[in-house]
Structure formats: C-alpha cells, structure tokens
Structure 1
Amino acid sequence: MTTEADLAAAFDAQRHRLVALAHRMLGSPTDAEDAVQEAWLRLARQKPGTIDSLPGWLTTVVGRVCIDVLRTRRSRPETHYGEHLPDAVVTEDEDGPEERAALADSVGLALLVVLESLAPDERLAFVLHDTFGVPFAEIAQILGKSTDATKMLASRARRKVRGIPESNVDRSQQREVVDAFLAAARSGDFEALLQVLDPQITWRTYTPRGVVVKLGATEVVAAAERGVRAAGIARRVLVNGNPGILSWSRSGKPLGLMSCTVRDGKIVDVVALLDPARLATMDLPDSGAPGQD
C-alpha cells in the first residue's frame, strides 16, 4: 500500500518538470507554482491504486488547470489578449553556481511574449509536444479533441513561434553588446547605437496604456537615448536568463526594464516594461546607489 510519504516523494520527483510546464503555459512563476500545488491537492484526494501512470496523470491535471486559468484570463473584459507582459524574473548578472542553475531553467521573455499571443489550446498543444515531447494522442485527451485537430493546433502555434529570435553567442558576448548599447545611449552616440542594433530589430514596449511596437534600428534609437538619459541610474541585469537593463529614478524608484536578445553581435529583439507601478511590485535588484537599502 502506498503511504503518504511515498506519494509525496513520487510527486516531488515530478515537480520540477511540472513547474517548467506550467511556467511556459502561464508566463508567471507564481501562477505556475499555484497550478502545481493544485495538482498535489488533487493527487492527495485520489484513492490508492487508481492512477496507472503518475507522470501522465500529473501532466494531464496541470495541463487542464493551466487551460482553465488561461481561458479565465481571456474572458475578462479588461484583458487584451496578447497585450499582457508575462512576469519577468530579474536577477543580478552573476556567474555563481546558483545563478547558472537558475539560467538553465529560465524561459526567455521574448518566447513568453509570443506564447502569450496563442490561444489556450494552441499553447498547450505546442508546449506539451514541442517542449516536453508528449504524444499528440495524449494531448488530445487533455483537450478533449481528436489527434488530428490537436496536431493542427500545434502546427498553427509553431508557425507563430518560429520567428522568435534566440541568442547565438555566449553570455560574455551578450554582456559586451548590452554594455555597448548602454554606453552609447548614455552618451547619445547615434552611430555607436546603430552599430549594436540589428537593422531589423523588433522593440516591444509595454506601458500602462498598452503595447508600442517599433521595427528597425533607426526607429528605436531616439527612444533608447531618451529612456536611458531620463533615468538617474541604469545598469545591466539578467531578465529571464537574458542580459537586460534596469533603470531607476534618482530617488531609487524603478522606471524601466529591458530584456535583450543578441545574435551575431547585434541586439535583434527587445522587450521593455515602462510601468513604474508594476515595477514597484516586482522583486528587483537595487540600483546600487549609495544610501539604497
């Protein structure tokens, strides 16, 4: 007979995978933990011997919980689907073992932004199959659809996700490019900024009023210069595992956050948050200025 301790141990062996799944589905570490906790509560209520495959059962439960959360979000009249910026995890850009372990589990903000634009069923089909290798027949059972319909959902999602840029240089090179961008923006060096921005860069800025998207280096240079110079302090941080920039007012209040994707020595994608109210609720590094706690 399975004891409660055995059940807890079996669940803990699956927990890391389930949190990673829920994070990609919900875009929020906190919501991901809540979804996995709900799965544990449901597991604890199951009668012994009623589950043939615990990993499959847990995947099904977490998947359905995430689908319910996404559908509830979409039904809210104040929510503009695709205009919500997923929660960002912002940390110091360091190279210790804890930081490296966190990087291995990170999900880039650019990917989460695109996943946010998918319909709930598309998102689940894509995440489960393309990231976690779950067979379409099993995903179909979770969604209550046919296997062919589930394949079509994943295919549609794949087309939308295909254009997401990924960094193809090591961490030190990414840092060099972001530092060069920051230095050029501070000094107002137009030519130096163009040197580190890909000509086809996409820059998405999330504000309290909505999302602003700029395409092309010349379109974003002026905005980049204004943003960095307006900040009292700006320095490099990690945003969901990618180098980025966090800025503060002279009084130490966070003003803006950027996550940068670097390819071939150029910044090709930026996701920015200019919302002091939201930034004030986030767990952020301090500015490092004298007198800051």
Structure 2
Amino acid sequence: MPDASPTNLVTEMFEAQRDRLRAVAYRMLGSHADAEDVVQEAWLRLSRQDTATIHNLAGWLTTVVGRISLDVLRSRQARPEASYDDRLPELVVTVDDSLAPEDDVALADSVGLALLVVLESLRPSERLAFVLHDLFAVPFDEIGQILGKSADAAKMLASRARRKVQATERPAAARREQREVVQAFLAAARRGDFEGLLRVLDPEVKLTVDTADGVIVALGATKVASGAATRVAGGTAARGLAVLVNGLPGFVSWREDGTPFSLMSFTIAGDRIAGIAVVIDPARLASMDLPEPE
C-alpha cells in the first residue's frame, strides 16, 4: 500500500510546482544555476514550515521564490563588479539588413531570449513586479507584500517595467530609430566623446561584459561612459557589421585577421540605451554562428 504520510504528500505537491517555480526564478535571475538554487532554498524553507498553516501552497511557494530571487538581484546590484559563473543567455545573431520580411521568423524565434536581455535592464523591484504579474498572473497585493509596498506601488512598478519592455518591441520604422541611437553611441565611443555618450545612455544603464574570466557588470551612465564601453567599442577592431542579437539591435566586429573581436547588443528604452550586453570571450565568440565579415 502506498505511503500517504504528510511528508510524502508535501513532497509530491512541491514536485508538482517545481517546474513553474524554476521558470519564475529563471525569468527573475536569467541564470539556470541561480534558479535551481532558489528553488532548492524554497524547498528547505517549506520543509521547516508547519504546512497546516499554509492555505495556498502554490501562492506560498511563489512568494518565497519571489523574495529569495529579489534578495539575489539586490545582492548583485550591491556588488556590480562581481563575476558570475553563468554566462549571458544564448545569443541568436542575424544580419540586420533593414529588417526585411524574412527577418520576422528569426525575430519570432528569439523573443524569449530577447525578453531575458530586456529584463536585465530593469531594477530588481521592477523586474519582480513585471515577471510575477505579467508572466505569471500573481495579484498586485501579493507582489506588494513581497516588496514591502502597497498594491498600487507594485502596480506602478510593473507599469514602468512594461513600458521599458514594450519600448524594445517596436515596429520596423521605430527599429531604425533604435539603430540610429546605437550608431550615435558607437560614434561617440570611437571619438572618446564623453558628453556624447551621456546623451544616449540612460542614467541607470547596465553594461554586462562576458569575458574569458567571467561576466563583469557595470552600472550607471557615468561609469559606462567613462571607460568600459569605450574600450569595448574601440580596441583592435578593424571591421564591423550591424546585426540583430536576440531581436535587439547589435554590432559585431572583427580584427584585421578576420577573427571575431566583440559582439554587442543594445536594449533601447525611448531614445536612450538602457542596457548593453557584450561578448569578448574569444572561445564563446568562436563557438557562435556569426555572419562573415564584409
């Protein structure tokens, strides 16, 4: 006869929620390893909890995963120069030839990856409110409890995040405007034009650089403009090409010998750059399906 003890029932109920909890944590953190750690921590907290006091297990677990994920995001923000074991999400690179109709297929295939890149540009509280409400239909009063804010405040955070996300999902004509912002950034970076960089960078811009030694993060327009982005955009690159990276405007560059130098993608909010993701790790660049240099 099967063992229907309370402990086994709780385990079965948790396992039934595991995939959804992992999905919540991954969209919050953009890291499979971190998502697994968060779900495991949620299980440990559940095992120490008197389950008789839990009236809605799915809701309780979502709240716990949300709170743990928020702590992780805030810890990252407090240590922006730290390197993380997880690399940036898988990158799908296509040539940006003024967004011909056939590009729509490539864009559709990369929507999920593009969203992860966009979410990286949000503040921790914005990201939690957007992910939990818009992607997993968690009510704003529950989100507010996680954040220690009112339901109205949580709703405002989700709305602000939604505007940033929607700003990256604009029609072809608007994508050309985004490309112009990127071109202005690259031109200013090559000239070492600090003021020009500040004009196109969001004050809270986030730069993520995937190097051979790990992922390095820099936050804020002043810090990004003062050196990190300039070094990446300049350096020893000899040729470059406009591309789409997970559906976002990007730029790939090569050295004189034809080996890839860097791959950059840009998250645009309004008329400013809110996020820059860069790959300069030679091994990762060599493994990618990049277009040939022209």
User: Into which bin does the TM-score normalised by the smaller protein fall?
Assistant: 0.5 to 0.7
- Partner Cα separation in structure 1 for residue 103 and residue 46 of structure 2: 38
Select which of 60, 65, 70 maps to 1:67: 70
Mapping for residues 1-293 of structure 1, pairs under 5 Å: 1=4, 2=8, 6-7=12-13, 10-12=16-18, 15-16=19-20, 18-40=21-43, 42-43=45-46, 51-76=54-79, 79=80, 87-93=88-94, 103-104=111-112, 106-107=114-115, 109-113=117-121, 115-116=122-123, 118=124, 120=125, 123-143=127-147, 145=148, 149-155=149-155, 157-158=157-158, 160-161=160-161, 163-164=163-164, 165-169=167-171, 206=207, 210=218, 213=221, 230-232=237-239, 234=241, 236-239=243-246, 241-242=247-248, 244-249=250-255, 250=257, 252-259=259-266, 271-274=275-278, 276=280, 285-287=288-290
Partners in 1 of 2:60 and 2:150 — Cα distance? 19
In structure 2, relative to structure 1, the CA distance for the partners of 1:229 and 1:40 (3 Å cut) is same
Aligned-residue offset at 1:6: 3.9
Number of aligned positions between the proteins: 240
Q: Taking structure 1 as reference, are residues 74 and 211 closer, same or farther at Cα in structure 2, changes over 3 Å only?
A: closer
In 1, Cα distance between equivalents of 2:106 and 2:43: 27
More relative contact order, 1 or 2 (CA 8 Å, 6+ apart): 2
- Asked whether the equivalents of residues 253 and 280 of structure 1 are also in contact (C-alpha less than 8 Å), the reply is no
Contact 2:262 2:279 in 1 (8 A): yes
Residues in 2 aligned to 1:25 and 1:281: alpha-carbon distance in whole angstroms: 24
Cα deviation code 1:26-60 (max 9, x no counterpart): 34454234323433455567677675323212201
Question: How many angstroms apart in 1 are the aligned matches of 2:218 and 2:283?
Answer: 18
Q: Would the alpha carbon gap of residues 37 and 95 (structure 1) be closer, same or farther in structure 2, given more than 3 Å must change? A: farther
Report the Cα distance in structure 2 between the residues aligned to 1:58 and 1:258, rounded to whole angstroms: 34
Cα distance per residue 1:67-122 (max 9 Å; x no partner): 2213433444xx379xxxx9444124498999956634751534431x13x5x4x6
Cα distance, 1:252 vs structure 2: 2.9
CA–CA distance in structure 2, aligned partners of residues 66 and 283 of structure 1: 33
The 3-state SS of whatever aligns with 2:265 is: strand
- Partner-residue secondary structure (3-state), 2:288: coil
Residue 115 of structure 2 aligns to a residue whose secondary structure is coil
Whole-Å separation in 2 of the counterparts to 1:3 and 1:106: 38
Aligned-pair CA distance for 1:256: 3.3
Find the residue that maps to 1:35 and give its secondary structure. Answer: helix
Cα RMSD (Å): 5.2
> Is the Cα–Cα contact under 8 Å of residues 248 and 287 in structure 1 kept in the other structure?
no
Distance 1:100 1:33, change over 3 A: farther
Unaligned runs of 5+ in 2: 95-101, 188-198, 210-215, 223-229
Which whole-Å CA distance do the structure 2 matches of 1:43 and 1:8 have between them? 9
Distance in 2 separating the partners of 1:75 and 1:66: 14
Q: 1:268 to 1:140 in 2, by over 3 A?
A: closer
Q: Alpha carbons of 1:98 and 1:155: their partners in 2 closer, same or farther (altered >3 Å)? A: closer
Q: Structure 2 vs 1, CA of residues 30 and 106 (structure 1 numbering), >3 Å: closer, same or farther?
A: farther
TM-score, length-normalised on structure 1? 0.55
The aligned amino acid for 2:150 is T
State the AA in 2 paired with 1:168: R
Give, in angstroms, the shift of residue 127 of structure 1.
Answer: 3.9
Cα pair 1:174 1:243 within 8 Å, conserved: no
**TM-score normalised per structure 2:** 0.54
Contact 2:22 2:35 in 1 (8 A): yes
Identity %: 33
Question: Which SS does the other structure have where 2:42 is aligned?
Answer: helix
The answer to whether the 8 Å contact 2:243/2:251 transfers is yes
Closer, same or farther: CA 51–254 of 1 in aligned 2, 3 Å: farther
